[in-house]
């Protein structure tokens, strides 16, 4: 690579120019003028996340699909004679009689209650943030 004896601003890249060329002082009052211009500009409000109809419809469609899939798998297993549901119900009854086995049921009930509350919260937020028709 050849060495440059003279500084040619047009031949330097921006990075090289910032490193090699001397820096000039800012004009007096430059920063205050720039700040005054920025303060005079209207500031855009930060966008707020809003759930749209598609967000809710997609979630409801997916949950409906999963529910339908579980029902179909359950029906198929019952038809094939696996009998997993009666075995599960029998174990649940046995576990309900044990005082130490109540905690998992309480945890499951708490999770279901939290999901219901969260769903209600999302519905309330959607109702409050609904777009109003103009006209």
11 CA to centre of own chain: 47
Specify whether the CB–CB gap between 45 and 115 falls below 8 A: no
Domain count, the chain: 2
In-domain check, residue 65: yes
In-domain check, residue 53: no
Of 21, 1, 23, 26, the closest CA to residue 10 belongs to: 21
In-domain check, residue 31: no
For the stretch 76-109, pLDDT in tens is 777 776 666 677 777 777 776 776 666 777 888 8
Q: Are residues 91 and 111 in the same domain?
A: no
In-domain check, residue 44: no
Q: Which domain holds residue 74?
A: 60-97
In-domain check, residue 103: yes
Which has more pLDDT, 36 or 17? 36
In-domain check, residue 10: no
What mean pLDDT is predicted for residues 9-29? 78
In-domain check, residue 33: no
What is the C-alpha end-to-end distance of the chain, expressed in Å?
Answer: 70
Distance from C-alpha of 90 to C-alpha of 88, rounded to nearest angstrom: 5
Specify whether the CB–CB gap between 58 and 64 falls below 8 A: no
For the stretch 24-73, pLDDT in tens is 888 899 989 999 998 888 877 766 767 777 878 888 888 889 888 888 88
Q: Are residues 88 and 103 in the same domain?
A: no
Of 109, 83, 84, the closest CA to residue 96 belongs to: 109
């Amino acid at each position: 690579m050849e060495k440059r004896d003279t500084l040619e601003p047009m031949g330097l890249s921006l990075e090289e120019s910032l490193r090699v060329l001397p820096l000039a002082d800012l004009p007096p009052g430059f920063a205050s003028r720039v700040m005054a211009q920025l303060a005079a500009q209207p500031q855009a409000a930060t966008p707020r996340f809003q759930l749209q109809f598609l967000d809710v419809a997609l979630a409801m469609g997916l949950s409906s699909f999963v529910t339908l899939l579980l029902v179909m798998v359950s029906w198929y297993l019952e038809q094939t004679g696996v009998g997993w549901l009666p075995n599960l119900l029998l174990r649940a009854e046995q576990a309900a009689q044990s005082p130490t086995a109540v905690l998992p049921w309480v945890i499951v009930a708490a999770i279901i209650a939290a999901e219901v509350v969260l769903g209600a919260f999302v519905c309330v937020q959607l109702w409050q943030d609904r777009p109003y028709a103009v006209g």
